[in-house]
Chains A and B, each alone.
Chain A
Amino acid sequence: DGGITQSPKYLFRKEGQNVTLSCEQNLNHDAMYWYRQDPGQGLRLIYYSQIVNDFQKGDIAEGYSVSREKKESFPLTVTSAQKNPTAFYLCASSSPEWGEGDTGELFFGEGSRLTVL
């Protein structure tokens, strides 16, 4: 089945450690996104990538890094510089219609919950 797979589902980290969250899609989508969700809140954009080997910072990129070496994969690294990393992280992809200026419908993974001990 086509979709987006995020792993791990739950992750615990000690302060000062970097962790990498995986996001893989087999939908053949060009664009991929990382959002952060805090309890009872909406989603905030961390990074997004419109095409392989290219990505842009979102609203809260500080303390995070990404890469987009393959179309299918968009891993997110939460670095020790991120002061408050405990959150629910959501990856999404879309097939934009840039000719229409349209980001398109987002398809989300099931999320990764990171807890800093």
Chain B
Amino acid sequence: SQQGEEDPQALSIQEGENATMNCSYKTSINNLQWYRQNSGRGLVHLILIRSNEREKHSGRLRVTLDTSKKSSSLLITASRAADTASYFCATDPRPGRRALTFGSGTRLQVQP
């Protein structure tokens, strides 16, 4: 079952603009993680936010988590062409089967 669902499915912006991606999930979680995937490559971990945290920053990334709404958002500020990739949220459910469940992803295109 797909625990996380991202919105939008695809996003196209200009360099320098901010990109916001949203993720909704269905069950209680220990943490929520965001990953990036360049076309045809493996996924790379970006950031992890725990269920008792509301906001986290890492460089140009800002993640929020609202456990009452079972949703998270990923904001990439001042986007660059190199940010073009697919972005996935993944949930670590509680009580869990001890494996992450991934959403369907947002494809981000940053135009130079």
Contact partner of A101 among B1, B33, B43, B94, CB < 8 A?
Answer: B94
Asked whether any CB of chain B lies closer than 8 Å to the CB of A102, the reply is yes
- In the complex the two chains form, is B88's CB within 8 Å of A43's CB? yes
- In the complex the two chains form, is A103's CB within 8 Å of B98's CB? yes
- Asked if A105 meets B33 with Cβ closer than 8 Å, knowing A41-B104, A43-B88, the reply is yes
Asked whether any CB of chain B lies closer than 8 Å to the CB of A35, the reply is yes
- Size bracket of the B interface: 20 to 34
Docked pose: A103 CA to B93 CA in angstroms: 9
Interface residues of A in 25-48 (CB under 8 A from B): 31, 33, 35, 40-45, 48
Binding site for B on A (CB under 8 A): 4, 31, 33, 35, 40-45, 48, 50, 56, 58-59, 88, 90, 92, 96, 98, 100-103, 105-111, 113
Binding site for A on B (CB under 8 A): 1-2, 4, 30-31, 33, 35, 40-45, 48, 88, 90, 92, 94-105, 107
